[in-house]
Amino acid sequence: MGGKRKGRENKGLEGEEDNMADGGYRSSASNSGHDNVDGSNAKRQLLPSMIKNKEKRSAVHAKLKHQKKLEKRKKIKARDAAEKRALELGEEPLVRKTPRTIENTRELDETICKPDDDELFVGNDADEFSSILKQEQTPKVLITTCRFNSTRGPAFITELLSVIPNAHYYKRGTYDLKKIVEYAKKRDFTSLIVVHSNRREPAVSILHEFDGFLIDALVIIGLPDGPTAHFKLSRLVLRKDIKNHGNPTSHEPELVLNNFTTRLGHRIARLLQSLFPVEPNFRGRRVVTFHNQRDFIFFRHHRYIFETKEVKQADSKGDVAKVSKGEKKSQEKTIVRLQYVIVEVLMWQIDGLQSALIGLEKHQSLMPNKECGPRFTLKLISLQHGTFDSKGGEYEWVHKPEMDTSRRRFFL
């Protein structure tokens, strides 16, 4: 009996596989005599997960996947051919549909900044960062740690010192954070960064040291009047762990801030902007990027390098001749292309780099990017009025679990 039963099961599985290969549909035996409302026979789709035999299930799944891949390829070829045909006939090609993503289907937010928001620009002139961003004051940053530092914390701080110009490191010792804030105020520091490191990876901490409880986060305090931003730091990758990394220079970097669209995001962006000089040194070819996506702020540090590759041209006699230096200088252009992993391609003109590029007609400029590190991700926990005060401080915004009502709700 057992052998006959196995034989019937294997025979049924083979039939199911053939049915999937023909189109993936099979009439139900129990509903063969019944009709739907439309009058057609009831049918059900047979999925690979309904096949019990593992080998046949994998084979059917591979066939279906291959069929879908071929169909998708045919659609792409037909679309490209239609666009090419329309361009040849002088017609406008069909507009491609924009794919639905979490970003472009986000929930509407009343605090999203608009270009014609006069109230926003008036507020920028009176906030805590106006003196720095108007170049009335030079940024000066103090970096310190928690009381109990780890072995990986100093390496992270060393790389922060190479990223932020005019940054100074002071050992924490046993001083309270409020005393350090007063010390920084007296010495004309404009920002204070506190890095807390646990045994796994560095992070900036809210420093609930009174009850002995530490929350892994990052603290950036604007001086002298605040605000205080608390971030969670994750996915830290040091420079030595980045493959084919580059070494940064001491030039002031260019700053790229992406997707800070709300009032809260605009305020966080200005806080991050206040850490760096307003006028970058373009000859240093350094770029610091804060890219906000779904309320996660990704930090990247690049250095783009210009490499010239000569393109030989044939003269009137048919011989291959090289371009002279005088012709190179006459055909120099000032176009810079920056390519990032998670940032869109940015193109703009820089006056200070006129002698850095070779003419594009007879020379090709290769501009690879060297990531200098570190690489990490920030997640905003809270934003507090004034300097650090864990007990009597007034908070502008605090993230709470009940605020995460949808995947399409963002705050920055």
pLDDT tens digits for 164-176? Answer: 999 999 988 889 9
What is the total residue count of the chain? 412
- Whether 199 has a pLDDT exceeding 90, the answer reads no
Q: Does residue 260 belong to any structural domain of this protein?
A: yes
Residues 201 and 267 in one domain: yes
- Whether 81 has a pLDDT exceeding 80, the answer reads yes
Q: What is the pLDDT of residue 360?
A: 34
Residues 275 and 336 in one domain: no
- Whether 206 has a pLDDT exceeding 70, the answer reads no
- Is residue 183 packed enough to be buried (19+ CB in 10 Å), middle (13-18) or exposed (0-12)? middle
Q: What is the pLDDT of residue 197?
A: 72
Q: Is 57 helix (H, G, I), strand (E, B) or coil?
A: helix
Both tokens assigned to 342: 């998670």
Q: What is the pLDDT of residue 20?
A: 47
Both tokens assigned to 71: 């169909």
Residues 270 and 334 in one domain: no
Amino acid identity, residue 59? A
Q: What is the pLDDT of residue 339?
A: 36
Q: What is the pLDDT of residue 29?
A: 40
Q: What is the pLDDT of residue 149?
A: 67
Which is more confidently placed, 336 or 159?
A: 159
Residues 268 and 138 in one domain: yes
- Whether 201 has a pLDDT exceeding 60, the answer reads no
Residues 216 and 335 in one domain: no
- Interval 244-296: pLDDT, tens: 888 888 899 999 999 999 999 999 999 999 999 998 888 888 999 999 999 99
- Least confident among 311-320, 337-346, 366-375: 337-346
Which is more confidently placed, 318 or 184?
A: 184
Q: Enumerate residues 6+ apart whose C-beta is below 8 A from 15.
A: none
- Whether 399 has a pLDDT exceeding 50, the answer reads yes
Residues 261 and 358 in one domain: no
111-120 b/e with 16+ CB inside 10 Å = b?
eeeeeeeeee
Q: Does residue 380 belong to any structural domain of this protein?
A: yes
Residues 363 and 378 in one domain: no
Q: What is the phi/psi pair of residue 384, to 5°?
A: -115, 140
Q: Does residue 18 belong to any structural domain of this protein?
A: no
Share of the chain above pLDDT 90, in %: 39
Please check whether residue 374 is in contact with residue 236, taking contact to mean a CB–CB distance below 8 angstroms: yes
Please check whether residue 102 is in contact with residue 408, taking contact to mean a CB–CB distance below 8 angstroms: yes
- Whether 366 has a pLDDT exceeding 70, the answer reads no
Domain count, the chain: 2
Residues 223 and 358 in one domain: no
Look up the domain containing 341 and give its range.
Answer: 306-314+330-367
Q: What is the pLDDT of residue 179?
A: 93
Q: What is the phi/psi pair of residue 237, to 5°?
A: -130, 120
- Least confident among 22-36, 145-159, 241-255, 282-296: 22-36
Which is more confidently placed, 188 or 205?
A: 188
Q: What is the pLDDT of residue 347?
A: 31
pLDDT bucket at 213, cuts 50 / 70 / 90: very low
- Least confident among 58-67, 180-189, 194-203, 372-381: 194-203
- Whether 88 has a pLDDT exceeding 70, the answer reads yes
Q: What is the pLDDT of residue 304?
A: 84
Mean pLDDT calculated for residue range 368-382: 89
Q: Does residue 205 belong to any structural domain of this protein?
A: yes
Q: Any idea what DSSP says for residue 228? A: E
Residues 397 and 380 in one domain: yes
Q: Does residue 257 belong to any structural domain of this protein?
A: yes
Residues 256 and 362 in one domain: no
Q: Which residue has the tokens 């059900």?
A: 44
Please check whether residue 360 is in contact with residue 330, taking contact to mean a CB–CB distance below 8 angstroms: no
Q: Does residue 169 belong to any structural domain of this protein?
A: yes
pLDDT bucket at 310, cuts 50 / 70 / 90: low
CATH code for position 397: 3.40.50.10480
Q: What is the pLDDT of residue 352?
A: 33
- Whether 365 has a pLDDT exceeding 50, the answer reads no
Q: Does residue 298 belong to any structural domain of this protein?
A: no
Residues 275 and 340 in one domain: no
Q: Is 302 helix (H, G, I), strand (E, B) or coil?
A: strand
Nearest to 150 by CA among 218, 100, 198, 114: 198
Mean pLDDT calculated for residue range 92-109: 87
**For the chain, what is the mean pLDDT?**
76
Q: What is the pLDDT of residue 44?
A: 67
Q: Does residue 8 belong to any structural domain of this protein?
A: no
Residues 175 and 270 in one domain: yes
